[in-house]
Structure 1
Amino acid sequence: MAINSLLNKVTSYSVNMQFLLLESGTQVLYIDSGMRDLLGYDEKDFIESGLNFFDLIHPDDQDIAKKLLALKSQTSLKIVNFRCRKANGKILCLQGCYQKSYETSVGLKLTLQMTDAKALNQYLDTPILLSNFTTMMESSDDYIYFKDRNHVFTGASQTLVALTNPSDHWHDLIGKTDYDVFPEEYADAYYRLEKQVFLGAPVASERQKILDNQGNIGWIDNRKYPIVDNNNEIIGLFGIARDITETVINQQKVEQLLAEKQAILETSLVGFATLQNRKIIWGNSALAKLLGYSKNELIGMPARVLYAHEEDYKKIGVAYAELNEQDISQNEIECLRKDGSQLWVSFSGTLLDKEQGISLWSLIDVTSNKLSEQALRESEIRFRTLFESSSDAVILLGDSGFINCNQATLKIFGCSTVVDFCTRAPAELSSPLQPCGADSSELAAKHFVQAKQQGSYRVEWQCKRLDSGEEFPAEVLLTSMILDNEQVLQIVVRDITQRKQVEIERNEALNRIQNISKSVPGMIFQFRLNADGSSCFPYVTSVIFTFFQVSPEEVEKSSDKVFAAIHPDDLPQVLVSINTSKETLTPWYKEFRVRSPERGVQWLLVNALPEKGEQGAVIWNGLVTDITERKKMEAQIHQLAFYDELTSLANRRLLKDRLNLAMSSSKRTQQYGAVMILDLDNFKPLNDAHGHLVGDLLLIEAANRMTRCVREIDTVARFGGDEFVVMLNGLDTDKAVSTLQAKTIAEKICSLLAEPYFLTVNQGKGADIIIKYCCSASIGVAMFMNHDFSNEEILNWADAAMYQAKEAGRNQIQFYQSTSE
C-alpha cells in the first residue's frame, strides 16, 4: 500500500501522523484531527507546544519506538503493537501500521497510522474453540481468557470478573484491554508477559500479583500460550491463571520459620524441600539444580512427579503418614529429573510443623556411586555370560600355562574338565608342523610376543584335538590384557573346518559357472540394491558390453552406466519393476529398450530371482537376453492381425474391438457415438479400365483423405474392396447435437472424397503416367448410445442407410431411422 493510500485509510478509531526523521531529532509534518478523540491531544500540542509523541510511548515499548525512529527506509507496510499514555493519564493499547521512504527534496519520512486496539477486536469464534472451552470458562476455578493479536479480550471465564472492575459478567470484558479493567501496575506486568508470546515464545509464565474487587492482594501462576492459524501465524493467545495465594502464604510461613537455618538449607551439596500433603511448598537452590527445575516450578509440584517407580512412592507414603511418630531415612530411591533422566538419591524426612502438616526433607545425589556399583556388577555378569555362552573356545594363558577356559574349549579340543585342560601344555593343542612348514612351538612363541607388543594378533592355525589327535584348521585371535596385575593372553579359537570346505566348494562352483556362462546366449548377472539406494553388479558376464557398452569392471561398484543406456521412455517402468520385486520378493521380469550408437535400439528381457542380502540389501541373480527379433516379429503379427495390409487402416477385427470400447465409454459418459459405412461410387470402372494396381492407389489415397477428416480418438477402417467404416467416439450428450456433429464430419468426408484423384502409374522403363479419376462416396450413418444394441446391429443399420444413399442417387449421406422414431 502506498503512503497516500495509508493516509486516506482513516476511520473514527485511527489517526495518521507523518514525521521527518533527522539525525538531530524528529519533525512533525502532519497529524489527523482525530488525535483529540484518540489520545486527547490537539495538533498544536505537538507542533507549537513541543510535545514529543515518542515520549508518550510506554517505557516497556521503547523497543518499538526505536524501530520507528531508526534512520532506515521501510518500503513495505509494517504492523506493530504498542501502548501510549493519553492526556488523561490512562494507557491506551494501539496497533500501528507504518512505512518509511526517502523523498529527494525532503528526506526520510515516517508515515504512521495508529488504531485503537479495541476497534480491531477479532473474536476467536472458531467452532473448535467454542465447543471445547465454553463449558470450562463457565465452571472453572482458574482464571481463563482469550485475547486477539492486539491484546484485546475475546473470551474469559466467569472467575475473572472477581478481579476486574467494572464487570459483572465475563461478556463485559469482551473488546477491552487489561488497562480498562486492571490497575496500571498490574496491567503492565500482564502486557509484558503477552509480548513474549507474540514474539514467538511457545509459552510465557510468571508468578504475578492480583488484586480482587475487595482490595485483597493474592498471587497467581499466570501462563500464556500462542494461538496460531492454518498458516502457523500467531493470531492471538490463550491464558490460564491459577490462584496460588495459599501456596505462596504457606511458603512465606515456611521461609520465615526457616530463616535462622537458611545458610544450612541453601547449601549447594544437599537438596532441601518442605512438603505439605505430599506437595512441595519450598525448595532450595541445590534441590532445583539437582532435579533440573527452577525454584518457582517446584512450588506446588506433587512429590509423585519425582518418583521413578510407583512402588517407591507407595512405600514412602506409608511412612509419610507416620512422620509424627518417627523420622524417615531411606537410601537409594530412584528419582526423575525434569528432562526425564533418572538419578539415585539418599533422603530423609522429619516433621517440621505438626499443626500445618509441614515436613522437611533432605536429598543427597548418590547416582555416581550407584552407577559405579551397577557397572561393576553388569561388567562381571557380561564377561561371565560372554565367556560361557561363546561357541568359540576362549582360553586365558599366563606365563606359567593355561589359567582358565570356557565349556566350548573342552568341546572343541576334546577335553573332559577345565582342571584337566589347564594341566596341558600349549604345544599339545597344535600339530607338530604348520601348513607353512614351520615348527608349531617356535611359531606360536613368536605370535605370543607379537600379540603382547601390538595388543592383539590374528592368525590361522592348524590345531589338534586332545582325545583323538584329529587336526583341524582354526582362526585364532590373541589379545593382551592385564589380570591381577599380570599380563596374560586371551586366546579365542574358532574352528573353520566348515568355512574352508565352503571356500573350496565355492571356488569349484565359480569355475563351473564361468565355464557355463560362456556358452549361454545372454548376459548372466548378479545385481545388488543396497539399503541406501545405491546399486552395482558384483558379477556379470562379458556380454554386458554388447548390450550396454560397458565392461564388467565398470559396474562392480556402480550400475549408473547401465541405467544410463536404458531408453528414457522405459527407465521409469524398469525402476518400478525393480522396486516391486524388492518389496514382494517376486521374480523381476521386464522387457525394455536400450540405445547404443553402434547397434541403435535393442529390446532386452531381464528375468531374475531376488533374495535378501546383508545390511538390508536385496540381490538378484538372473539372465538378460536380446529379444529384438522377437519384438519385430510380434509387431509384424500385430499389424497383420489388426490392420489392413493395403491402406494400414484398422481391419474388421480391430474396429469391432474399438466399437465395443466406445459403447462401454458411452454408457459411462452418456455421450453418443456414430458409425459411418462408406462405399465408393464408380470405383469398379477404374479397376476394369486400368487394373487393380491403379484401383489400389485410389483406395490408399481415399484412406488418407478420410483419416484427415477425423479426430485421433476416432477410427477409420477398411472392411474390404471399396467399403470403409468410420467410427466417431465421444460426441455430445444431446442426440440432436451429436447427430449434427456426425453430419458435419460426414459432409467433410463426402466433399473431400469427391475431389479428383491424380494417380501416378509407373510404366517400368517408360515414363510414368498420371491418371485423373473422379469418384464419390455414398455414406450411411447410425447413431448409438450405451449397450442397448450389439455392434453387429449398429453396423447393419449403417449399412442399410448406406444403401439408401446409393438408391437415392449416390454421393449422399443418409442417417438410419429406426421404426420406433
Structure 2
Amino acid sequence: MHIDPFTIVIFTVIISLLMSAGLYLVPRAYLTDIKGIRYWATALLLMATSWLLLALYGIIPNFFSLVIGTTLGFLALVFYFHALVAFKEFKVSVRWLYVLVAIVFIGHIYFVHISFNMAAKIVLTSLSVAVVLLANSFLLLTKQHGICPRSHRLTAAFFAFASCVYVIRAIYYLVWNIQPEQTLFQHNIVQDIAYLTNAIFIVGTSFGFALMCNEKYLTEKNQAQVDLKKSVSLLNTILESTEDALLAVDLTGKITKYNSLFVKMWAIPELMFNAKSDELLLNFVLSQLVDKESFINEVINIYKHLHDDTFSELHFNDGRIIERYSRPQYLNDEPVGRVWSFRDVTERKRMEQRLRDSENSFRNLFENAPLPYQSLDIEGNLLYVNQAWLDMVGCQLKDVVGRFFGDFMIESSKLLVTQTFSQFKKEGYVSSPIFELVCRDTREERLVTVNGRISRDAQGLFQHTHCILIDVTEQYRLEVELKESEFRWKFAIEGAGDGVWDWNIETDEATYSKRWKEMLGYDETDILPLNDEWAMRIYPDDQSYVAKNMQDYLQGKTEIYVVEYRLKCKDDSYKWILGRGMVVSRGKDGQPLRMIGTHTDITERKAAEEEIKQLAFFDPLTGLPNRRKLSDRLHYSIAINRRNHSQFAVFMMDLDKFKAVNDSLGHAAGDELLKQVAARIINCLRESDMVARLGGDEFVLVLENLKIPKAAEKIALKVIADLTLPFQLSNNHTVQIGASIGISIYPQDGNTSEKLMDHADTALYQAKDNGRGCFAYFSEVSSTINNV
C-alpha cells in the first residue's frame, strides 16, 4: 500500500505556511535573536512555495514546477543553515551554499529541459539536499560555551535523519532504477518515504527550533536577572564604600535610596525612617542647621530648575561644615529625581584657615626679613622683592618689578649675571656667586652674593626663582686684610704646636717643619723634601676627598683650604689631621706657584667626638644601640612603614634566670653574659633588623619587612632557642638562662613608638605568666582582655 504523495505534498505546504506565519508573528520583545527566527520563517515559506509548485506539476510549465520549485526547496535548506548560524552567533561563511544553489538550478535546467533525465535530476537534488541537511546537523551539534543543549541535539537528529533518507533515495535512483522517471509522483516505497520524511522533517525541525528559541529566551532572561542582581549589588557596594553621604529622592521629594553614611552624618534615628514621614525627617534635618531658611530656599529653587547641578555649604549647630551637592537623575533624557551628596569638610576648612594664617605669617616674616629677597621670572626679570632688597638698592617697588636684575649692577657684573642665570636655569640652583651692585641713592658699590633655587610646577616647568642676597662688602674687605697679614703670622704657628709645610707647586717640592715630622713620629732625616711624602701617607679612603678639596682651592672654586683627614705615622698607626693652607704666590697668569699651610693633630678631639657619639646612642657594655637610638629607629620605621603600608614587629625581651647568675657569680660575670647574649641575638637577626639594650637584662628587637605578622614567630623561636643553649664564661663557669618575649605589630598594635613599646611590654608579662621561655603577641593578650 502506497501513501498518496500528492496528499503529503499538500500537507507539507499547509503546515509550512502555518508555521512560517506563526514565526513571523513572534513579538520582538520576547527574543533578542529576531534575525534567526526570520531566517527560519523565510525557510518555511520557501519550502511551502517549493512544494506548492511541485504539487502543480503537469498544470504549470515544468520550468516552474520542477526547476524553480526544486531550487526553492533547496534554497529553503540554505535559509535553515543561515538561521542556525545567526542563532548560534557563529562566524561561518554561507557563500558556498549559494554557489551550490546556483549549481543545483543549472543542473535542473539541464536534466529537465535538455536531457529529460528525471532520475538524474532526483539524484542531484537528493545528494545536494543531503549535504546541506548534514551541514545543518553538524552546525547544531557544535558546542557553544562548552555545552550542547538537548534541544540542539533533537533538532540535529531530525536533520541527520532526513539527510540519511535523501542519501538512500539518491542511491536507489542511481543504482537500481536505471530507467528515467516520466512522472514526479511515481508510486514506490522510496519516493513515499522521501515525501513522508520531508513532512516529518519540517514539523520536527521547526518544533526543535521552537524549543531552542524558548531555551535561549529562558537562559537570557535568567542571565538578565543575574546581571540585574549584580548591578544592584555593585550599586549598593559603591554607595557604602564612598566617602560621601548619599541620598536619592524622586521628583516629589520622596526618599528612594540612601547609604549608611547619610544616616550617620545626620544622626537620624532608625525609628524616623520606619515612620516613613518625609515631613518629620525634613524637620529633623532642619533642626541641625544654623541657617534653616537659606537651605529651604535652596531646595525650592532646585526643584524649579530640575536640570541644574547645585552646590552649597551647610553649617551645623555643632560646628561641622558640610559641602552639599545635588545633581538630577535622568531616565530617557528626562529628570526623574535627584541625587544629593554630603561631604564633611570641617577638618579641611580648618586646615585651610590654618594655611591662610600660616601664609600671612610667612608673608609678614618675608616682608620684615633682614635679608634681601628677590623672585625672578624665566628671563631674569624681577617679579617680587622685599623691603630689605629695596633698602639695599635704594629704589621703590614700582621702579623695580619687571626690570632685569642685572640692570642694578655695574657693567662687568651685568654680563656675569647673564652668564650665571643661564647656568642657574640649567642646574636649578645658584650658590654664592659675587656681583657688584650700585645703590641708586648713594651711588655706592656693594658686593653681594646670591643663593637661590628654582620653583617648578608638577610637570617640571620653570615657575620662578627664590633668591636671598647677602651684602659681603665688609666681609670681603676683612678677608683681603686677613690674606695680607697671613704671610706675616704663619711662621708663628709653629710655636702653637702645629706642623708647618711649604709646597713649591711648580717643582712639586715641599719642606716640612720639625714639629710636622715629630707629630707623625719621624726623625728629621726620615722625610724627603717632596710633596709625595705627604700624599703617600694619606689614609686610602680619604685620598680622593683631600685631592678634590686641594684641587677646588687651587682652581679658585673655594676660597679657603681646610680639610680633616688621616695621616699614616711611622708606627703604621693613623692620626687625624686638620689641614689648612693658602696660596702665597701666583704667576702673571694667576696660576698658583707656592702654598703654605699647617697640620694640627686633632686625634684626641676626634676620639672624644666618637666617644660622645658612642655614649649618646650606644650601650657602653654591649655596644648595642641604647634607648635614644632605639627611639630614633622606631620613629623612622613608623614613617617608612606608614608610607609603604607595610608592617614591622617590636620584641620586648627579658632574660630568665639572669639575676641568679648575677647574684651568684658577681657583676663581672653578669656583664660578660650580657655581651654574649647580645652577640647571639645579633646572629639571629637579619641586616635590616635591630636589637637595643634598655638596661639590666632588658632588650628590644625591631624586625623590619614582615610580609605577614606570623613571620615574627620564626625569629622569636630562634632567639629563645639560641639563648637557651649554655654560655661559657671566662671564669670557667657554664651557665644556662632563658628568654621571654612580648611582641607587638605595627600598625595593628599601635601607631606610635610609645604604644608599640607599652604593648610589647604587656605581651612580655603575659609570656612570663605563661611559664617563661616563650613569646606572646599583644593581639592575643588584648583579645583575652576583651573576652574577659
Does TM, normalized by the shorter one, top 0.5?
A: no
- Answer 1 or 2: which has greater strand percent: 1
Class of the TM-score when normalised by the shorter of the 2 chains: 0.3 to 0.5
TM-score, normalised to structure 1, is: 0.33
RCO (CA 8 Å, sep 6+): is it higher in 1 or 2? 2
